[in-house]
Amino acid sequence: MAYEKSPKTHVLKAYFKAAKIKDESLSLPKIYLSEEEKKRMIPENYAVLHIDKNPLNHRNIYGIDWKEVVKYIQGLGLKVIQISKNGEDLYGEWYKTRDMREVMSLVYNASLFVGLDSGPSHIAGCFEIPSAIFFGSVNPEYRHLDHKNKIFLQQPCEYAGCYHEVVSSRGKDCRLVGPEGIPKCSLHTTEYVLNALRLLSHDIKLT
């Protein structure tokens, strides 16, 4: 609960405070992989898709035709690899990672990341992988340090960032639709996502 106790501060600052680290400037976390972990598991250029359904509606993704999104990504010359806990709602080839180290290796060699604000999205950020990240009711400025190679996907709402209004691990239930409906901040269009990917396509590097 180190971060949850201070929801209106950057996540790194919250953990610095919990660890009693003082006068440390915020910088992009570093992830160190072994030479074995740096080796490509997939020979083709690929994108990582991570869109598992979140039990919290204000952290979920709605309204997108993922088949169209995958088709566009493939048109960029990328294979689509999907990481998913249970292998449900698959639109790309399911890659069942065994642990977080394997996720790190998979993301490290990716050309693009598309998915939820989650552990894998932060790994992509650390490796400066071009990323389209969905935030729902979370304020992305409390999660990431910069916009480099990233596009934050979030719809306007009069209660934007309400996740941070309470001390909780689940955030605040949507004031407009409650815990069961579709929040405005999480309801997107396919074209909105495709436009983000068009912008990111300039940063994609193919090997």
What percent of the chain is modeled with pLDDT above 90?
A: 83
What pLDDT band is residue 176 in, cutting at 50, 70 and 90? Answer: very high
- Mean pLDDT across the stretch 117-128? 95
pLDDT value, residue 73: 98
- Residue 126 belongs to a domain: yes
Reply yes or no on whether the pLDDT at 6 is more than 90.
no
- Residue 183 belongs to a domain: yes
Residue 192 CA to residue 156 CA, distance in Å, equals 13
- Residue 26 belongs to a domain: no
- Residue 102 belongs to a domain: yes
Assess contact for 111 and 45: CB atoms under 8 A.
yes
Tokens representing 161 are 């960032």
- Residue 27 belongs to a domain: no
Of 89, 57, 192, nearest to 132 by C-alpha is: 192
Quote the domain boundaries for residue 65. 11-20+41-200
Assess contact for 52 and 84: CB atoms under 8 A.
yes
Assess contact for 174 and 183: CB atoms under 8 A.
yes
CATH number of the domain enclosing 154: 3.40.50.2000
- Residue 186 belongs to a domain: yes
> Angle of helix 66-75 relative to helix 190-200, nearest 10 degrees?
20
- Residue 70 belongs to a domain: yes
What pLDDT band is residue 86 in, cutting at 50, 70 and 90? Answer: confident
The domain total for the chain is 1
Average pLDDT of the chain is 94
- Residue 31 belongs to a domain: no
